[in-house]
Structure 1
Amino acid sequence: MAHIAFFILPAAGHVNPTLSVARELVARGHRVSYALSENYGERVLATGAEFLPYPMDQDEFLDTMVPQQDSASYTDQQEFLNMMKWMLAMTQQTLPSFEAHFGTPENRPDVFVCDPSSFWSGHILAAKWGVPVIRSTPTYVANEHWSLHPPVDTAEEQQEDPETGELFGVVAGLLAEHGVEKGIGEFADDVHSGPALVYLPRAFQYAGDTFGEEVNFVGPCTSANSFHGDWEAPRTGRPLALISLGTLYNKQPSFFRACVDAFADLDWDVVIAHAGGVAEGELGEVPDHIRVHRFVPQGAVLEHATLMINHGGTSTVLQAVSEGVPVISVPQMAELHATATRVEQLGVGAKILRKDVSPELIRETVLAVAGDEGVRAAVARLRGEIESAGGPVAAADAIEGLLAPVPAGA
């Protein structure tokens, strides 16, 4: 039995795809641990994994780590710097307790599963102890052929800015303190390279055929995860639309109201899941065929859905397609724009820019997508790619591939 430790960014879109992988590893007899913020304990423990919690200011996390730019690329250097500062502060906060826990012989991991978007505690401990790392990436990976980010200045160029130089100096000191004999540039390259679990099929990744075999495109791994009770499908025989903006970009009552107006006179059933983004009564009068919920078990609803409208979250889009459901994406930031564009390129749905949202455009797009046989065929093709990617089984195989071979006769 091996010990696999997960260090994941404390956001639902990053955590949820890993849970099915953890469940698969536990079923194979491995010990699995999560170092994660306190609010994810119930989800982690349900997989059979162990849970090492840490406190985190959720409001500060949302303010700092959730990009707010409504654009198709990352361009805000100050926003990037703020994210780096938060990651450094969280690394400094968590590293001592993580080292104390995982540093004992009985708790030393055999493999670290580290989210490149998370802070650096797991990477530092893996480098310090010579333990292999595999990246856990819920969205696109980058290489010399494609990247969502603009070219990054060299470390020397960045350090010409006093604030950035000071930050890099602290990171360099932290690496040296823990015996990691790497410069900042080399350490950063390690965080974003090497073996990877990518929760997309290769066909959905931009320039997917340019990535080597160590990048494992295992497809979405969210279908077995449900945290929001039961849901009963309406028995009307009408088409069903599911509408959600996820949990990070959901405070948009005007968007949800536009959806209500779009479907008000359509012979559809509608499920709106706003994740707390709408206050009681804020949507005004809602017709009976439109049901408004805080949360729903998304997978259960998608089993009956005709179409989904969402924010362009990669995991959500692929979960919908894996159930044969086309998607209309309304992207909110750069990564979500990339996914909405990919939805269009592959023909599995449509994109509506936030600035263009109106009841009329939503209604028109819904009817066009739902009635398009080409969209249904494209969804079926991508669904096949998702099924062949392997999911949690393929992810667990990739992790086991990093384990040291057991000596003969042991």
Structure 2
Amino acid sequence: MAHIAFFILPAAGHVNPTLSVARELVARGHRVTYALSENYRERVLATGAEFLPYALDQDRFWDTMVPKQDAAEYTDQQEFVNMMTWMLDMTRQTLGDFERHFGDGADRPDVFVCDPSSFWSGHILAAKWGVPVIRSTPTYVANEHWSLHPPVDTAEEQAEDPVTGALFEVVAELLAEHRVEKSIGDFAAEVHSGPALVYLPRAFQYAGDTFGEEVGFVGPCTSANSFHGEWEPPGTGRRLVLISLGTLYNKQPDFFRACVEAFRDTDWDVVITHAGGVAEGELGDVPPHIRVYDFAPQGAVLAHASVMINHGGTSTVLQAVSEGVPVIAVPQMAELHATATRAEQLGVGAKILRKDVTPERLRETTLALAGSAEVRAAVARLRGEIEAAGGPAAAADAVEALLAPAAATAA
């Protein structure tokens, strides 16, 4: 039995795809430990994994790690500085506790599964102990052929900026303190390179054919994860549209009101899940064929849906396609714009910018997607790519490939 430790950004879109992978590893006889904030305890324990909590200031996390700009590129230097500051603070806060927890020979992990977007405690311990790392990436990976981020200066050039330079000095101090003999540039490069689990099919990745085999495009792994109880379909036999903006960009009552108006006088059933983003009464008069929830089990609703309107979250879009459902994406920041554009490029959906949202545009686009044979064919093609990617089993294979022979034999 091997010990595999997950260090994942404490956001649902990053955590949820890993849970099916952990469940698969546990089923294969491995010991799995998650280092995560307390609000994920129940989800983690349900996989059979162990749970190692740390304290998290949720308000600061959301304020820092959720991009605010509705833009197709990451360009805000202050957001980068805020993110770096948070990541360093969290690394310093957790590193000592994690080292004490995992430091004993019997508890030391055989593989670290590290989210490149999370803080660096897992990466530093892996480098210190010589333990292999595999990245866990719920969205696009970058290489010399494609990146969502604009080109950046080298670490040395960035360090010339006083604010950024001070942050880099802290990183250097952490590496030296833990006897990690790497430059800041080399350490940063390792965080974003090497073996990877990418929760997309290769066909959905921009420039997907330019990535080597060490990057495992295993497809979305969210379909088996459900955290929001049961849901009963309307039973009317009518077409259904599911509408959700996820949990980060959901506080938009104007958008949800536009959705109500879009489908008020149609023969569609409508399910709106707003994740607490809409207060009681904010949607006004809602007709009975439009059902509004804080949360509903997304997979169960998608099994009955003809179209999904969402924020462009990569996992959400791919889960919809996995169920044979085309998408309308209303993106809110750079990564979501990239996913909305990719869905359009591959013919599995449409993109509507926030400024262009009207009831008429939502209704017309929904009807066009639902009635298009070309869209149905494109969804079927991408659905086949997702199924061929291998899902949790392929991800577990990639993790096991990093195990030392003794650990693999014991498993």
String of CA shifts for 1:370-400, please: whole Å, max 9, x gaps. Answer: 1111000000000000000000000000000
Match of 1:336 in 2: 336
Give TM-score scaled by structure 1 length: 0.99
Q: What amino acid maps onto 2:343 in structure 1?
A: V
Partner of 1:124: 124
User: Partner of 1:380: helix, strand, or coil?
Assistant: helix
Work out whether residues 2 and 407 of structure 2, in 8 Å CA contact, stay in contact via their aligned partners in 1: no
Other-structure match for 2:97: 97
Aligned AA for 1:285? D
Paired amino acid for 2:168: F
What is the CA deviation profile of residues 33-68 of structure 1, one whole-angstrom value per residue up to 9, with x for unaligned ones?
Answer: 000001000000000000000110111000000011
> Aligned letter for 2:141?
V
| Equivalent position of 1:222 in the other structure | 222
Alignment partner, residue 37 of structure 1: 37
Opposite residue 383 of structure 2, the aligned amino acid is R
Matches within 5 A, 1:181-200: 181-200=181-200
Deviation (angstroms), 1:71: 0.7
Number of aligned residue pairs: 410
Partner of 1:374: 374
* Structure 2 counterpart of 1:245: 245
Cα drift, residue 407 of structure 1: 8.8
**Residue in 2 that maps onto 1:326:** 326
Structure 1 residues without counterparts, runs of 5 or longer: none
Q: Which residue in the other structure is 1:236 paired with?
A: 236
- Alpha-carbon distance in structure 2 between the residues aligned to 1:212 and 1:364: 41
Task: Report the residue type matching 1:294 in the other structure.
Answer: D
Distance (whole Å) between structure 1 residues aligned to residue 159 and residue 400 of structure 2? 39
SS of the residue corresponding to residue 325 of structure 1 reads coil
Please give the secondary structure, in 1, of the residue aligned with 2:405. Answer: coil
Query: For the structure 1 residues 303 and 161, does the alpha-carbon distance in structure 2 shift closer, same or farther, using more than 3 Å as the test?
Result: same
Report the secondary structure of 1:266's partner residue: coil
Q: Which residue of 2 aligns with 1:365?
A: 365
The whole-number CA distance in structure 1 between the counterparts of 2:197 and 2:407 is 27
After superposition, residues 163-202 of structure 1 pair within 5 angstroms as: 163-202=163-202
Q: What is the TM-score normalised by the length of structure 2?
A: 0.99
Paired position in structure 2 for 1:384? 384
Percent identity for Structure 1 against Structure 2: 84
Report the alpha carbon displacement of residue 406 of structure 1 after superposing the two structures with TM.
2.6
| Aligned residue type for 2:328 | I
Give the match for residue 83 of structure 1: 83
- Alignment check: 8 A CA contact 2:110 2:407 kept: no
Q: State the secondary structure of the residue aligned to 2:406.
A: coil
Runs of 4+ in structure 1 deviating by more than 2 angstroms, as ranges, are 406-410
2:156 — aligned with what? 156
What amino acid maps onto 1:243 in structure 2?
Answer: I
**Within 2, Cα distance between the matches of 1:310 and 1:370?**
15
Whole-Å separation in 1 of the counterparts to 2:166 and 2:409: 53
Alpha-carbon deviation of 1:160?
A: 1.3
Partner SS for 2:52 = strand
Deviations, residues 83-124 of structure 1 (Å, cap 9, x unaligned): 000000000000010000011112100000000000000000
